[in-house]
Amino acid sequence: MGRRVVVTGMGLLTAVGNDLASSWQALLEGRSGVRRITRFDPEGFATQIAAEVKHFEAERWIEKKETRRQDLFTQFAVAAASMAVDDSGLDLPDGDGHRVGVIIGSGIGGIATHEIQNKRYLDGGPSRISPFYIPMMIPDIASGIVSMRYGAKGPNYCTVSACASSAHAIGDAFRLIKHEDADVMIAGGTEAAVTAMSVGGFAAMKAMSTRNDEPERASRPFDAERDGFVLGEGAGMAVLEELDHARARGARIYAEVLGVGMTADAYHITAPAPNGEGAARAMQRAIDESGRAPMEYDYINAHGTSTPFNDEFETMAIKSVFGPHAHQLMVGSTKSMTGHLLGGAGGLEFVVTSMVIHESKVPPTINQEHPDPQCDLDYVPNTMREADVRTALSNSFGFGGHNASLALGRYEE
């Protein structure tokens, strides 16, 4: 069986809010964070919109001199992790820290730093490259810095599996606690990839929406007129804790982590497997480990990217796993408001799913205007819904065929 694992702290940094409370309220209200890009001049790019974090003040969380030594993706991670630890009420560092670990996923890492330093090299030669270039760029540095901040000397690493990165991070953290390798894990994901090369690269693949004149309406998962994903940025972090450890200190428990499913499509570098076969197996594995029957599930925070194939095949996968019960499920995509955080998406959506269970409120999938006959489930269109959600899944699927599904439930004695 293994030990039980619960969620005791959470932090969010998104395009719709700079903390958990403001992000959650914006999601319930159906507010989009998508705007014209400001991080660089997007003129001439096929896609000129993104869901950028707004009014971020890194100095609230990080000493000013340290911000110059950290890429934005690391700053996002430190801020969200700090929020999560504060929210949990844990006193870290506490003791020797050997039972506390950190896993933070990022699909791309410090791409902004790479672009800046590459230009310095091209303009002035190798002597112009900063000595901080490598430690600012590498994706694992976020987990390393968070571990130093809290004296966490347990398992510490980064997961890199494209858009499944932070779902894998949380899944690994769950397993490490369940099987007694740690008592507390800070886990989630971060991304800050709204850069010229990143946007240009995704646009060259024709993967992103080009609805530049209507940014707030561009991300429309499961809608018949969806034309690609909208790039987002930010971080979602959670404190996972062994149940007895949490109860001994009287911690508030948002939700219980019940299971994780991880699979591979082994099919194509970017396209999902036909009919969502790999996604279906990931969901089934999470359900199996959860010990709950499919009929007991109420909600799925879908990967729901607003790309034609992903949304159709994820719908098919849900139907194959849940059968007739699929039409009783609420299936939401908060990417319709936050954009797609790539490697940070799973962390953000795990936090959202925990809040859905804790608050009994389901954020809408906005921009549901044109029904797609291939996407015919209950996507909680356009308006928040109050509902008693006791068991849920959070799905994350990435380029390269990486699939991860996390099962959560309401904590019960």
Structure tokens at 221: 């998962």
SS (H, E, C) the chain: CCCCEEEEEEEEEECCECCHHHHHHHHHHCCCCCEECCCCCCCCCCCCEEECCCCCCHHHCCCHHHHCCCCHHHHHHHHHHHHHHHHHCCCCCCCCCCCEEEEEECCCCCHHHHHHHHHHHHHHCHHHCCCCHHHHHCCCHHHHHHHHHHCCCCCEECCCECECHHHHHHHHHHHHHHCCCCCEEEEEEEECCCCHHHHHHHHHCCCECCCCCCHHHCCCCCCCCCCCECEECEEEEEEEEEHHHHHHCCCCCCEEEEEEEEEECCCCCCCCCHHHHHHHHHHHHHHHHHCCCHHHCCEEECCCCCCHHHHHHHHHHHHHHHHHHHHHCEEECCHHHHCECHHHHHHHHHHHHHHHHHHCEECCECCCCCCECCECCECCECCCEECCCCEEEEEEEECCCEEEEEEEECCCC
340 given a catalytic annotation: yes
Which is catalytic among the residues 168, 245, 340, 358? 340
Which is catalytic among the residues 114, 163, 168, 245? 163
303 given a catalytic annotation: yes
Which is catalytic among the residues 303, 358, 375, 402? 303
Structure tokens at 411: 């904590």
Residues involved in catalysis = 163, 303, 340
